Each structure stands twice: as structure tokens, then as C-alpha cells.
Amino acid sequence: MSKPRLLLGFDYGTRQIGVAVGQAVTGQARELCTLRAQNGVPDWSRLEGLLREWQPDALVVGLPLNMDGTASEMSERAQKFARRLAGRFNLPVHTQDERLTTYEAKGERMRQGQHGGYRERPVDALAAALLLESWLAEHSS
């Protein structure tokens, strides 16, 4: 298979899933949107609409590992989400270690002067962009 050029990244969560779009050519990603989820299950029709609109070559799902690198309950749920994406949409799905991306995203919001609580300014889509950029950087050769 040829190298993916356009990718969508997902910061998986049980209440919301951050979505970002990235390009392999530039190695950059940007926030796209945040999808509501019910106990980790997204609105599949909305997700399908995003895939139809952007037509990505591949998808990247953040894997929230414990700080020591071991799997957590959330990382197992994220892997299940990744498998469902692959099965439903027949696209290559990769996972990316996302330790500290939400923390980094909150810090980025503060540096941009965008204060306010997490509820008013969720960082899920920014976290998705950060994890997608780290995947792109690791696979840029």
C-alpha cells in the first residue's frame, strides 16, 4: 500500500472524541471537531460523514497508555474503537502512544491565552492534532 497522505486522528474518550486532520507532506495536523460519545460509542453516522468529507487514506487513534507504558482500561477501549473503525470503514487504522497529549494540549490552550475550564474549552481535538503530528513525525521517512 502507498504511504498515506491525508489522515484523521482521534483522541478517544468515553464522553467525547477529539478529531484532527493531518497531512503527511507537511507533517502538520489541525483540530477538526469534537464528537460526542455515549460510554465511548460515537455517533457513527456523523463519523461516517467526516470520512466521506475528508476521504482520508488512513486513521490514527490515540492509545492512552499508563506512564510506565502498560495498557490501561482506556487503552483497551481505544483499541476496540480502532478495530471498529477499521471494520466499518475498511481503512488502515494505526494507534499512537498519546501519553501526555491532553496535558500538553491544556498547556497549549493556556499559552494561547485561552483560559476557561475544560468544559468550556475542551482540548480533545487539539490532543488529537498533537498525537497525529507525533505519528506523522515517526513515519515521515
Task: Determine the average pLDDT of the residues in 68-92.
Answer: 94
Domains, in order of start, for the chain: 6-138 (3.30.420.140)
- Beta-strand pair 16-23/28-38: antiparallel
Per-residue pLDDT tens digits for 91-132:
999 999 887 565 555 556 555 555 444 444 568 888 899 999
Give the separation between CA 50 and CA 60, rounded to whole angstroms: 14
Whether the predicted model's global pTM rises above the 0.75 cut: yes
Identify the residue with better confidence: 37 or 67: 37
Residue with the bigger pLDDT between 7 and 119: it is: 7
Pairing of strands 93-97, 28-38: unpaired
Tell me the Ramachandran region of residue 39: left when phi exceeds 0, alpha when psi lies from -120 to 50, beta otherwise.
left
Asked whether the CA dihedral 84, 87, 91, 93 is positive or negative, the reply is positive
**What pLDDT was estimated at residue 119?**
45
